[in-house]
Amino acid sequence: MVLEGDVTTDFDVISYTRSRKHHGNNVSQNRRCILVCQHDSCCRNGAEAVLAAFQAADTEAVVMGSPCAGQCNVGPTVRVMPDETWYCRVRPEDVEQIITEHVDPEAGQPVKRLLHPRFHPQFW
């Protein structure tokens, strides 16, 4: 069950994006924000465990639960900002690969097998 305060609001996401644009040099260009949908449909498919796995991972990225991402049929959905990478059907065992191949500063390559086809049709 998601407790109050575990899920970010749209304002939090907007604030994160604006702080990167506004503060430029004060915010690492490689720092990403990982949003894990925590709405009912995604939670029924294991989103709470996915969020916990990201929170436990060794990463400098900001990790937050998010309200409904609107992709209920392919949850759990994970969105990586600021590059707007959308992952679908993410499992806790996928988290390490997402971190090491995509999120870590020296990485930067999305995990193709998990990319959401609606947002990344070039990979399907």
User: Diameter of the chain by CA atoms?
Assistant: 40
| Distance of alpha carbon 50 from alpha carbon 92, whole angstroms | 5
What H or E segment, with its residue span, contains residue 46?
A: none
Pairing of strands 78-81, 85-87: antiparallel
Q: Whose structure tokens read 């959308």?
A: 86
Q: pLDDT for 44-70, tens place per residue?
A: 999 999 999 999 999 999 999 999 999
Residue 108 has what pLDDT? 83
Q: pLDDT for 63-99, tens place per residue?
A: 999 999 999 899 999 999 998 999 999 999 999 999 9
Q: Give every CB contact of residue 74 below 8 A, 6+ residues apart in sequence.
A: 88, 89, 116
Ordered domains of the chain (ranges, CATH): 10-18+30-123 (3.40.30.10)
Closest among 70, 68, 59 to 2, alpha carbons compared: 68
Asked whether 33 and 62 are in contact (CB, 8 A), the reply is yes
The values of phi and psi at residue 78, to 5°, are -125, 130
